[in-house]
Structure 1
Amino acid sequence: MGNIFKKEGILLILLLTILFTSPVFAQKKKKKKNKKVQETEKNEGSGLSIQEFQPTKVNNVVKLPGLKFPNINKIPLYQNNALLAQIARLERNKQWEEYRELLYKYVTSFGINNFLRLEDMDLMWRLANVSEYLGDRALAKETYRLLLRHNRGDIKKALAHYEDLTLFDKPLYANIDDYYRLVEKRALIDTLTPPEDVLIEMGPEVNSDFSDYGMTLGGENQSQLLFTSNRSERDTSEFNKQFNPKKHNENIYISTKTDYDMWGMAEPLETINTNYNEGSPFLSKDGKTLYFIRCMTPEGYGDCDIYYSKKNEDGTWDEAVNLGSKINSYAWDSHPSLSMTEDTLYFASDRKGGFGSSDIYFSVKDSKGEWGKAKNIGPFINSRGSELSPYPHVKYPILYFSSSVGIVNFGGFDIYKSFIVDGEFSEPKNVGPLVNGSGDEYYFAIDAEAKQLYYAKSKVKGNPNLDMQSFPLPMEAKPNNTVRFSGRVVEPTTGEVFKGVVTIIDLSDRVEVAPKKIREDGSFDFELINDKKYLLVIEGDNFFQIEEIFFVDGDKHVQIPAVSVNSSLSFASIDFDPGSAKLKPEMENNLHLVIDFLVKHTNYRLIVTGHTDSDGNHDANVKLSKERAESIKEFIINYGELTNDRVIADGKGDYQPIVKNPTTPEEKRLNRRVEFKIFLDEYRISVPVDDNDDINWED
């Protein structure tokens, strides 16, 4: 992270003078305790002892769009030359308020085809730009964001404006290596267990030597896993070769959870599977209706159509029924799924008339139980790229889906989520780097309790065969992390802000939370689940690590006082008994601030210098001050498991008082202190000849 000290001929020495007020955030490394003690401490909690624990003014977790597009699914293209002429006249006359008003009216009248035209995207750019100029940051950000999702032209200008507006809004995820380093460190925290494996193979009972993917959970207590596999060999008769020349056939398989909470041996869904390709199953909550796709059939409407089948009392399935022309098209229609209330069917299609290569569509069931004509889900979910795998959560009003286009994107297709409020979809959010990687994430399912994510990944990069794996659902992907926890890390006296990494660990459920970098203004924010206990860890190169346990009860904002390694530290606990060099237990907590810094920053060393008050003999005081420094050195070396040369001990006795000729006990206490000097290992030390002289530092 670079040198945190200034050099002007000689090194500017870090003077850490141990005075007498303890910082509230000092973190003592604890010895392992038994499970009962651990549980007691978790249940008690510490409360957040940092400053200004206050509600935030605005909850930005669920943001519904301000722009509305009522013509989507009504008209393909909106044009109004008279209105365009008025807009041009207002622009020439610089009548910006009226100009913005008419631009808004025109843009919100767009049909889907307007989003495909560069001249209409230019109008959207102008709306964003004038909104920014007039100070309407919310509308400007939303319009820029929409422009970035749909514009096929040069988006550099829009991206620059958007990034300026969202400089302190967008998530700055830390390097994933930092996350795994912190995960390993969790084992040192006695309230936590070692982390689970990130991806867990679902085993040979489910996976095969061929591709296994496109899964869903269903039935009572979601005890059934249905998925797509191409492990089956196809009937090679001449008739079937004509329509399906490939040797292997995509079929639907089912696995049932055993009494041991394991998935049983997968079996083909015999009464559904045919010599045509079947896949993308979705099972209703009661387990009695199955939606799936069948491809390349003579009686089908397009490449792949969506079908359904009802389950009989004997466990067999009725003959599959095509959902018909209101749902299916001449193109590829796939990935069916039902809403939480099962009255809306979502699916993906690459039919013409959409925003991109493939879009998400929906159909609503009427009072007679019939599915209505499919409609495009709109420009806030769909983009100029491809959207796949719509997956509404079974208990929470939230839609997950995969997209190849996003303001935050980690690779190819990433998984996003959008909250559903009164039939409207909120701004999609990327579920974060603990789920999304450099490859493609789609064909996924999330259990009812939102604890596990199931999806297909290739074991080896470049290997086309997919295996199904389970993954403990991280916080960013949860459907109910709707509480905003934000803060600012700042030096309380100077106002200095710090660079570093903020990590939060859910102590209640041991759910992972992706770490984030501290922004340039010292701020950070997370979206968490309410009524839970968390551990906050903040670390950086120029301040001492902060660890706090806190409880979330509604939106909160915290002001976090951090102590810079370039400033003086004050500890009330560093006070030896008269005539003694023995460390007291209450000292250890604050000494760990120094230990943690040395452990993390291996290129720094430390000088510990002891001082006494003027009571007693001068020579005896020098000896006592050295013994005290040696006690501190021994503790730091042993507990930090450092090499002996990382710490140097020295003692000055009463020769360098802060208060000369002290008259009160408090003034004597000020003189009775320990000083720390931290220096870069690249600098040489010249040890003083006279004990009364300062240590000399040479470049």
Structure 2
Amino acid sequence: MLSAARIFLLFFLFWSVSAEAQNPADARRNGERAYANGRWAVAEAQLALYQKAKPGDLDVLSKLGIALFQLSRGEESRRYLEYVAAKDPGRKDPELFYYLGRVRHGLGDWDKAIIAYKQYLRVSGDRHPLRAHVTDNIKRCVTGMQAIQHPQIALVENLGDRVNTAGDEFAPIPSLNHADRIYFAAARQGSSGGERNDDGFEDTQRGHWCSDMYAARLLNSGWEMQGSLGGLLNTSRFEVPLGFNNNGQILYFFRGYTLYSGEIFADTAATKDEYSMQLPAFKSPVNAEVSDCNPLFYNDHTIIFASRRQGGQGGLDLWWTIRTDSAWTEPQNMGPEVNSPYDEDMPFLSKDGATLYFSSNRLESIGGMDVFRSTYDVKKRSWTSPVSMGLPVNSPEDDVYFRLSSSGHAAFFASNRLGGHGQRDLYIAYYQENQPEQASLSETAIFTRSDQNNIESQEIREITIPSLAYTSDQDVLSADNLKIIAQVAALTRNYPQATLLITTHTDAGAQPKFDLYNGIKRAEILGKAMVDRGIPASRVLLRCVGSGYPIAREVLDAQPNPAAAALNRRMEMSLVAIENLPLKQSIERPLVAAFMAAPGAERLAEQTSGLSYRVEAAITRQILTNDVISMFGDLMIETQPGSGAYQYTAGIFKQYNEAANLRKDLVNQGFTEAKIIAYINGIRLPKAEAVALLKKYPDLAGYIRG
């Protein structure tokens, strides 16, 4: 039998012969197609085959040089491009001279880069899209000639080929709890989402690899891959880690079909890096759909992010928002002290809260995006003029996602500087000494709420919302009810910070499971009516509490009360928010004679006001037929319009430990996925958002840890 080595040798020889035998015209055609689609490795390989078979074609050599530049192979790129320029001195090819300038620029040959850029300006038309960029790059070359070494940086080092690949590694996040670990994003071969085009569709011809989240660890031998964060977090979409909360137990990350369209999610990271099955969306003013990107989460109640939203200085600007109690303030621009007409992006705020790092392509950079540093002047109450981090942190290419380690002895960043392994690589900068701004977490409130439109300054409005009576599904949208629905829809539109809570109450039927399910289906009818009137489904919360909170006694003097059923069947609407609203609301209910009145409505309002806990027993798509659930009190079903998912909960408690006891009982009765949910004023509170409310509600500590 042939040995494995001989089999491999024969296969290699066969492959080599096949490659050599490829038709040169096919190689050129394939190479130019890959070149047009930005698939640089394929383009370089195919065009190199053509060049070997038919050497000397200047168009092919020019494309080869550009592909090599994109692959960070600077010296090889320079040889090809300079050969073409020397061979055809009269060549009027703007792309050739642009990339000849770029590669010389990237290699730090400032004078010759300027010469190539000026050649580009001579041969390109006045309307060529890169003219302004090239003019700026000439100025950046002049800045590069004067660049100095950062006095505190001892060494900048690539994390090596055990971490970096020919793909795109970016967004390094140092672990808060493990000094030898980082998390990062990588769009590399084998990523979960495959290859997708700019519209987010799978495309093996024009697409590029989606990004997944990974971890790397420092061993004695150097940095090594620890692996992907797994299928629970990495999906067929783009995922990018954004940061951790203060104690490192909540991971914030981006997920979207493109890097410019998606949502922020929060996930609890246990000590063994295990992640929750359900990932709550993180609600804040940061919205990728309106160009917001790269948020930094600082001290659990401050977010700094980049955005092109109106009101900025130009390009991407840095903005901030803070959380008061639980409502995020309207984002504020960081002003001309920090922002410029160019791009400011990827902020990092050190522990002292007064040292800001970010990347910018302003003219003070030496190439693309450089890292800048600004400090907050407490006396002047303003940020100082940003200063470049200098060499060797900055390079003539893009240096981005700069973050100090927790101790301040090093910083991690991504760069596509020439000489790397592929697109962007991860780098580490070692400091001579620990940076003092990372010594301790500051309590100084540099970012404070400045808007005057908060609820304290608004006039409190008093409103009364009538309850809706019904007998059957057809009655929900009766003529009388529709008038009330229209009024409540208009009211809801006037308070965009509020959630419309719709609660269905039923009379006592033979089996609670049918009361609950029929009630939530009727709530869905009302919820759809609100969506049809312009209220987003995300702002409508539907729940059915069955017959658990009557306003009329079902039994009087040991006899059924025939009037109770019609009185108790009602649907109530109210506006709720985690933070107080400038509203004083009351619900107009049917009049009930004192001798038959029941305190159910008051009891529900008291139990759900402020912080409360319930235990979610199950999430279903249809009715829950397990009669065991009827053993437990305060049963509810929750959903949202169009969701189709029904969340069954039991119990209402003011203390976390009481809810924990009920959860154990539910698990023992077969509801093995039961979990505790915290609520503020009837609104579910994800753990990621609960952190900011710990000071106001200390009992949340158990919920966050649990």
TM-score normalised by length of structure 1:
0.37
More helix per residue: 2
Q: Which has the higher contact order (CA 8 A, sep 6+)?
A: 1
TM-score normalised by length of structure 2:
0.36
